[in-house]
């Protein structure tokens, strides 16, 4: 019997390139693949579904139907924290899919099956990060698909990647996860996103596009961490203006206080909120990693919350798959 293990790191979601219905393409995610924290899912064939994690079990039930197999035993060595802005949903869904398929000797295309698992409906960053890692910008969806209502599960394709580039080996990312209310998900997220889209200013999308095309991507390709951090922060602030009514400002609490503190730190070149938070991030490099870590701890203290702080490298590869015989 084959046992398959899939390991993949988290991702940061820096924002979208457009939320306005006035443009031809909607969403268009911007993100960074991280080396840590990591998810590790282990699967082996079975006659029923056995899984300790309710979150993983939910995906395993869908995967078994998709692959037309009788069951699976799914264990996890580590899971990503759920609904904090690190991409746990897509990573868990796709890792469960690939691990189960590999355990049964099947070959699957995660991108093709992601919609059936409810993934890639807005951003394509999580799927692309699972596939190949790196820094990613996706093309978004045709706006007409979302004009009247949200599409039914699976009635979309994952947005194609329009830009992907390896993250410099010298760059580091400060990840601050405060002990705070989880980010929005499910129906709550759908309602908030719909409200943001209906109010979104088309001019803001044009400004974000300019930041991405003329500042963020050139800095990424040229390995200029200072310029990249500043561009990422600006794109995040512009995105925050779309969500201000939904989250109470450019950043949700307590991210507002954390980002404000990090913005004053010389070891951090740019700071922002990942997805709906509460994870905040900062851009730095290996030489300033220790100072950035201390800055993250200070930012939590200023915000008056506990939490986890780490400094991690980017990830320039997709999920890793390992096989063993039981």
Q: Is 65 exposed, middle or buried (0-12, 13-18, 19+ CB in 10 A)?
A: exposed
Ranking 14-18, 26-30, 141-145, 207-211 by mean pLDDT, the lowest is 141-145
Task: Give the pLDDT band (50/70/90) at residue 207.
Answer: very high
Which residue is associated with the tokens 């049964």?
A: 104
pLDDT at 155: 75
Residue pair 85/276 in contact (Cβ under 8 Å)? The answer is yes
pLDDT at 182: 82
Sequence ranges of the domains in the chain: 2-325
Find the helix packing angle between 225-247 and 186-199, rounded to 10°.
Answer: 100
pLDDT at 148: 57
pLDDT at 146: 74
CA distance 62 to 80: 20
**262-287 pLDDT tens trace:** 999 999 999 999 999 999 999 999 99
pLDDT at 192: 84
pLDDT at 149: 65
pLDDT at 1: 86
Task: Give the pLDDT band (50/70/90) at residue 93.
Answer: very high
Calculate the alpha carbon distances from 70 to 6, 46, 85, 190, 258 in Å.
20, 7, 33, 33, 47
pLDDT at 326: 78
Q: Which residues of 197-208 are buried (b: 16+ CB within 10 A; e: fewer)?
A: beebeeebbeeb
The pLDDT mean for the chain works out to 95
Portion of the chain with pLDDT greater than 70, in percent: 99
Q: Inform me whether the pLDDT recorded for 33 exceeds 90.
A: yes
Is the domain 2-325 a CATH 3.30.230.120 member? yes
- 8 - beta bridge partners? 39
**140-186 pLDDT tens trace:** 999 988 765 667 777 789 999 999 999 999 999 999 999 998 877 77
- The DSSP element (H or E) to which 209 belongs, if any, is helix 202-211
Non-local (6+) Cβ contacts of 96 within 8 A are 41, 43, 56, 59, 60, 63, 74
Q: Inform me whether the pLDDT recorded for 52 exceeds 90.
A: yes
Find the helix packing angle between 255-262 and 289-303, rounded to 10°.
Answer: 140
**230-265 pLDDT tens trace:** 999 999 999 999 999 999 999 999 999 999 999 999
What predicted TM-score, i.e. pTM, was given to this entire model? Answer: 0.95
Find the helix packing angle between 54-67 and 88-103, rounded to 10°.
Answer: 50
Task: Give the pLDDT band (50/70/90) at residue 54.
Answer: very high
> What mean pLDDT do residues 53-70 have?
97
Residue pair 243/256 in contact (Cβ under 8 Å)? The answer is no
């Amino acid at each position: 019997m084959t046992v398959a293990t899939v390991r993949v790191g988290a991702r940061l979601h820096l924002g979208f390139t457009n939320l306005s219905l006035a443009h031809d393409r909607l969403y268009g995610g911007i993100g960074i693949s991280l080396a840590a924290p990591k998810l590790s899912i282990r699967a082996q064939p079975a006659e029923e579904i056995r899984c300790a994690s309710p979150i993983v079990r939910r995906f395993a039930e869908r995967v078994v139907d998709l692959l037309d197999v009788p069951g699976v035993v799914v264990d996890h060595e580590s899971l990503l924290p759920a609904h904090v802005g690190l991409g746990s949903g897509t990573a868990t869904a796709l890792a469960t899919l690939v691990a189960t398929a590999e355990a049964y000797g099947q070959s699957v295309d995660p991108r093709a099956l992601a919609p059936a698992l409810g993934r890639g409906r807005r951003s394509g960053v999580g799927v692309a990060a699972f596939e190949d890692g790196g820094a990613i910008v996706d093309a978004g969806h045709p706006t007409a698909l979302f004009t009247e209502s949200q599409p039914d599960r699976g009635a979309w394709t994952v947005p194609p990647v329009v830009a992907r580039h390896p993250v410099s080996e010298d760059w580091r990312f400060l990840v601050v996860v405060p002990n705070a209310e989880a980010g929005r998900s499910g129906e709550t997220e759908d309602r908030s996103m719909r409200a943001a889209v209906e109010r979104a200013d088309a001019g803001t999308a044009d400004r974000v596009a300019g930041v991405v095309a003329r500042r963020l991507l050139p800095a990424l390709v040229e390995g200029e961490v200072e310029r990249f951090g500043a561009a990422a922060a600006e794109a995040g602030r512009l995105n925050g203006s779309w969500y201000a009514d939904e989250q109470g400002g450019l950043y949700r609490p307590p991210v507002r206080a954390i980002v404000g503190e990090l913005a004053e730190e010389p070891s951090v070149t740019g700071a922002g909120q990942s997805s709906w938070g509460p994870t905040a991030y900062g851009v730095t490099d290996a030489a300033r990693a220790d100072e950035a870590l201390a800055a993250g701890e200070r930012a939590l203290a200023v915000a008056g919350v506990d939490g986890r702080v780490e400094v991690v490298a980017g990830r320039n590869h997709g999920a890793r798959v390992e096989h063993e015989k039981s």
